[in-house]
Amino acid sequence: MNDLTAKPDVRPANPNFSSGPCAKRPGWSLDKLSDAPLGRSHRAKPGKAKLAEAIDLTRKVLRVPDDYRIGIVPASDTGAVEMALWSMLGARGVDMLAWESFGSGWVTDVIKQLKLDNARVLEAPYGELPDLSAVDFSNDVVFTWNGTTSGVRVPNGDWIPGDRQGLTICDATSAAFAQDLPFDKLDVVTFSWQKVLGGEAAHGVLILSPRAVERLESYSPSWPLPKIFRLTKGGKLIEGIFKGETINTPSMLCVEDYIDALKWAEGLGGLTGLRARADANLKVIGDWVEKTGWIDFLAADPATRSNTSVCLKVSDPGIQALGGEEQAAFAKAIVGVLDAEGVAYDIGAYRDAPSGLRIWTGATVEADDLKALTAWLDWAFHAEKAKLPQAA
């Protein structure tokens, strides 16, 4: 067996590279959650205290302004985004930005479900951003900060004016805790703690600026709102939601897990430490791509490359010469063989995205594991290419 097809000697210590739910923090164990008030009501004093602690730590680590509300809501990031869309849109026109599947999903909701006829859609293909200079901020604006399924993020918040008339509604689920979010430019921010902090699924976080609260208290949409979406009562914000009085029953085990992750983040230096780990992880992949001839980033512009959900395409000329279905099958073969070897789980491209690989590089992933993974990726590529009928 030649060097190209010899299995590497070093394996990732943690093979979990899924883009959600993501790898648990280093050193995590179930024993760390022993303080969870299991079997108690979330409305009892211990439950309320834990939910309030989670909100307070979120504010501290993410550097959320004091006058912004933070609420824990049901149904993960999707639930948080839907609450914002259904509760706030319709007061004025809306610009919908989409360059990957989740952004496209919000377009579908606004156009086909809410049926807003004053919605304008600005789209770009996978790997690119729409023309941000074309956004009309007299409208509300809905966008993802980091396109989880394309690996493309907005480079910063400079394109958002401070004196905008509409609201900015930002799905930040794979950006929060890894990228700088300029809250003065964002009126609604949503995320799920199952991403960068590696928390458990099913809970979302909704962050509202004073401008967003003003919209909620001054505008009632023309469509009915399910109870699970209602943020106001009698024209006033339900303040309890933002103090730990959740709309529905949360898992106190998941809340404890989130608190554990936030305390770990504090120990790293908060957002600065989390971002540094993600940036270093992206560099591991970037250095490997630069010296490797068969792989490339889906995001062509380095300024827009995600430091969490890194999306890659097989650029080898021999594979590129294959048909689309054959290219997709080749990428899936790489994913499959690494899964079978137990060195990388869940690294296939998202089902709606171009074929390729998607590797999570958020703060809970260790750089050494990524370095080990790159050697296995090279091995899998050459091993699978050697199986093709006309392999060189």
Per-residue pLDDT at 391 = 54
Note the pLDDT tens digit of each residue in 259-297: 999 999 999 999 999 999 999 999 999 999 999 999 999
**Which residues are paired to 168 by β-bridges?**
141
Per-residue pLDDT at 331 = 98
Gap between the Cα atoms of 205 and 74, Å rounded: 8
**Which residues are paired to 96 by β-bridges?**
121, 142
Residue 65 has pLDDT above 70, yes or no: yes
Average pLDDT for residues 156-174, to the nearest whole number?
98
Gap between the Cα atoms of 348 and 299, Å rounded: 16
Q: Distances from the Cα of 55 to the Cαs of 49, 163, 241, 255, in angstroms?
A: 10, 28, 11, 10
Gap between the Cα atoms of 158 and 91, Å rounded: 25
Average pLDDT for residues 162-188, to the nearest whole number?
98
Average pLDDT for residues 129-150, to the nearest whole number?
98
Residue 3 has pLDDT above 70, yes or no: no
The bridge status of strand 168-171 relative to strand 140-144 is parallel
Could you give the angle at the alpha carbon of 132 between the alpha carbons of 103 and 156, nearest 5°?
Answer: 85
Cα dihedral 73, 75, 77, 78 sign: negative
Gap between the Cα atoms of 338 and 375, Å rounded: 11
The more confidently predicted of residues 392 and 322 is: 322
Task: Tell me if 71 sits within 8 A of 216, measured CB to CB.
Answer: no
Closest CA to 73 of 229, 226, 216: 229
Per-residue pLDDT at 1 = 43
Per-residue pLDDT at 120 = 98
**Domains, in order of start, for the chain:** 14-25+269-385 (3.90.1150.10), 30-267 (3.40.640.10)
Task: Tell me if 45 sits within 8 A of 184, measured CB to CB.
Answer: no
Rg (CA), the chain: 22
DSSP track, 164-188: -SS-EEEE-TTTTTTS---GGG-SE
Gap between the Cα atoms of 297 and 293, Å rounded: 12
Mapped onto helix, strand or coil, the DSSP state of residue 203 is strand
Per-residue pLDDT at 392 = 44
User: Could you report how far apart the first and last alpha carbons of the chain are, in Å?
Assistant: 15
Average pLDDT for residues 102-130, to the nearest whole number?
97
Closest CA to 216 of 67, 90, 360: 90
Per-residue pLDDT at 5 = 76
Cα dihedral 315, 317, 323, 329 sign: negative
Starting at the edge strand that comes first in sequence, how are the strands of the sheet with 309-314 ordered?
295-297, 309-314, 357-360
Gap between the Cα atoms of 160 and 96, Å rounded: 14
Gap between the Cα atoms of 298 and 237, Å rounded: 42
280 token code pair: 């270093």
Amino acid letter, 2: N
Gap between the Cα atoms of 185 and 322, Å rounded: 45
Q: Where does the pLDDT of residue 4 fall: very low under 50, low under 70, confident under 90, or very high at 90 and above?
A: confident
What's the half-sphere exposure (Cβ side, CA atoms, 13 Å) at 339?
A: 12
